Structure 1
């Protein structure tokens, strides 16, 4: 048995490849778990209140506010620990998607997969803070004001819809994000192989698809009002689940075409 000193348990390799990765997964479970809670439980639950406006507002002020606190800071923790993995793990970015030897082509596929996962994760975190939380603050303030006897804010419904669209988009993205995050090290480096050109082509195609979907969720293709057929993926949790699986299938098929050995 090889004996190692205690310091080696916390060297740069251990910190980058295990400790930050462990914290990354822990924070990610909290973040994505709450994302699914909002989309699969809270949103349809609040809709089921019907005309019970007071009960809905109490739920928003007493439950949603707490969940949103953990939700948004878990996204920060997930993003921060992910970036720390990249920064601390030895040689993580060395020859990133630029391996020229055929024997190293699986590393190009792995790098392309993790790049798509990282792109989705960073965009999802941006959605949390720049769209979801920004608009949910309006909804929460309105609920608090109405419970105190004040007038309802006419902009609250629009803000709520903007937050919902971004949240559903994150749910759609999450299926592929989790697949590529896990698959990069446990699937793509074992069963896929790609030249630098093919890996970059896959990455470029993925970014274009991601950008178009993000713009759609922002209402750039016909607005955010109900009735816009472009918003079908976001109008129910069922539609979001279907869309998430379809998006994953598109990415997966593209990776097979471009990066399968």
Structure 2
């Protein structure tokens, strides 16, 4: 069967199937991320306490299962894609070096930085804090007292979710750019300065979302994470800075 010929080679069937799984999982993950931020949060703000509690227990809880495991499978399929490019090709040249060189490599590594951060936010911040919020809602529904830690947990989960939405815009751009940004060749310059710029911008967003810069209600969070529309605008501005300064100014040969 043709599908088993050169199964593990770069651009072979294994990579294709891993990439297909990566995209399918990613669509599910990011689709739910946008549902939470663009639909659920604004809608829940208009519900009564009782209706919001019931929705948290019956809608959000189910959606979070698909959300976190879609994030996990996206991450795993991404690792499988990268595994194809480990080691040397038959000529003795490093497949890893070939895959990550030039503009393609910089773009895919940039997308990976944001994507892995988003994955860690899902499991390390969002889900961990949402368990507190949903647990509190279940306790109240059973006639008990609300968990006093629930409001802070909801804020922490919300900030991380908005940070993921913010980062998803450049993440998706650079993932697609790596395969289809054909106007950039393999010759690049200024890579070190580019990464300094990207890491500073990434650190600002992530540290702010975690409350490490000015607390959970610091200036950056208030400006970009309080309203989902400003989160979207901020993500596109962030992308423009990285692309036009990073790629067009610093990396272009």
1:247 equivalent among 226, 238, 243 = 238
What is the DSSP-based 3-state SS (H/G/I as helix, E as strand, rest coil) of the residue aligned with 1:12? coil
Which shifted more, 13-22 or 214-223? 13-22
TM-score, structure 2 as length reference: 0.90
Match of 2:174 in 1: 180
Unaligned 5+ segments in structure 2 are: none
> Map of 1:32-47 to 2, 5 A cutoff?
32-47=30-45
Give the superposition deviation at 1:5.
4.3
Work out the CA distance in 1 between the residues paired with 2:96 and 2:214.
Answer: 40
Work out the CA distance in 2 between the residues paired with 1:86 and 1:186.
Answer: 18
Work out the CA distance in 1 between the residues paired with 2:37 and 2:29.
Answer: 13
Q: Is contact 1:191–1:260 with CA below 8 Å preserved after alignment?
A: no
Give the superposition deviation at 1:12.
3.3
Work out the CA distance in 2 between the residues paired with 1:92 and 1:143.
Answer: 51
Q: Deviations over 1:113-170 (max 9, x none)?
A: 1000000000000000111001000000000000000001111011001100000000
Match of 2:5 in 1: 8
Q: Aligned residues, how many?
A: 243
Higher RCO (CA-CA < 8 Å; seq separation 6+): 1
Match of 2:220 in 1: 230
Work out the CA distance in 1 between the residues paired with 2:84 and 2:32.
Answer: 28
Match of 2:129 in 1: 135
Match of 2:96 in 1: 93
Work out the CA distance in 2 between the residues paired with 1:173 and 1:166.
Answer: 10
Moved beyond 3 Å, runs of 4+:
9-13, 89-92, 193-197
Work out the CA distance in 2 between the residues paired with 1:6 and 1:127.
Answer: 36
Q: Deviations over 1:215-253 (max 9, x none)?
A: 01111121114xx32211100101101111111111111
What is the DSSP-based 3-state SS (H/G/I as helix, E as strand, rest coil) of the residue aligned with 2:103? helix
Match of 1:215 in 2: 207
Work out the CA distance in 1 between the residues paired with 2:168 and 2:251.
Answer: 22
> Map of 1:43-192 to 2, 5 A cutoff?
43-49=41-47, 52-89=48-85, 92-95=95-98, 107-187=101-181, 190-192=182-184
Give the superposition deviation at 1:6.
4.8
Instruction: Determine whether 1:256 maps to 2:253.
Output: no
What is the DSSP-based 3-state SS (H/G/I as helix, E as strand, rest coil) of the residue aligned with 2:190? helix
TM-score, structure 1 as length reference: 0.87
Instruction: Determine whether 1:205 maps to 2:197.
Output: yes
